[in-house]
Amino acid sequence: MSTPMIVSITQNEYDHVNLNLPEGWSIVQTSTPDSFLATASEGESGGAIRINRWSPQSLSFVYNYPDEVPFDIDLAAHYRESISSAEQHKETAEVTELSPRTIGGVHALGFSLMWTRADDPHYAQAWILARHDGIWDVSARSATGGDSLSPEVLAALDSISWTPAGS
């Protein structure tokens, strides 16, 4: 993925992310309102989707972008950094680039991997997308021991959307 994919970041306030939860799933409280975890079980044994936003302020601080919106980012460069980090992480293996897809109407770049923590393997997909309100990381994971995403995890991933801030 060497072709730049320029996206303009124009808004500090985040749009609200929506997700249709599969039956029996719950939202786990997170430390910030623009980040959440939806999971099929307590702990780390069930399928899950995690969504985190890099705000314009975070992007400015970490990547030395301008302090004020608007500014442009290269989604492909952020994707390359993300996949490279995954390839070097001691808990990941079998990192494989996935075909681009759309999440919530937005172009997303992703990769799959096997993630093992405490001898518990999970298959996961990691997606990165850029919108006017920042960069969003979306990860979907199998239940412990899974080698693919279940239909319910895929349906939840497909259901992600955003509602404009203030509505």
The pLDDT tens digits for 145-155 are: 999 999 999 99
Q: Are 143 and 45 in contact (CB under 8 A)?
A: yes
- With b for 16 or more beta-carbon neighbours within 10 A and e for fewer, the 113-149 pattern comes to bbbeeeeebbbbbbbbbbbbbbbbbbbbbbbbebeeb
Query: In angstroms, rounded to a whole number, what is the distance separating the alpha carbons of residues 69 and 123?
Result: 36
Query: How many beta carbons lie within 10 A of that of residue 54, not counting itself?
Result: 22
Query: In angstroms, rounded to a whole number, what is the distance separating the alpha carbons of residues 134 and 130?
Result: 6
| Domains of the chain by residue range | 7-163
- Per the DSSP assignment, residues forming a β-bridge with 7 are 73
What superfamily would CATH give domain 7-163? Answer: Mog1/PsbP, alpha/beta/alpha sandwich (3.40.1000.10)
Q: What is the mean pLDDT of the chain?
A: 91
Residue 165's pLDDT is: 87
Model confidence band, residue 37 (pLDDT cutoffs 50, 70, 90): confident
Residue 166's pLDDT is: 81
Query: How many beta carbons lie within 10 A of that of residue 23, not counting itself?
Result: 6
Is this prediction's pTM over 0.85?
yes
The number of C-alpha atoms within 13 Å of 24 and in the hemisphere containing its C-beta is 8
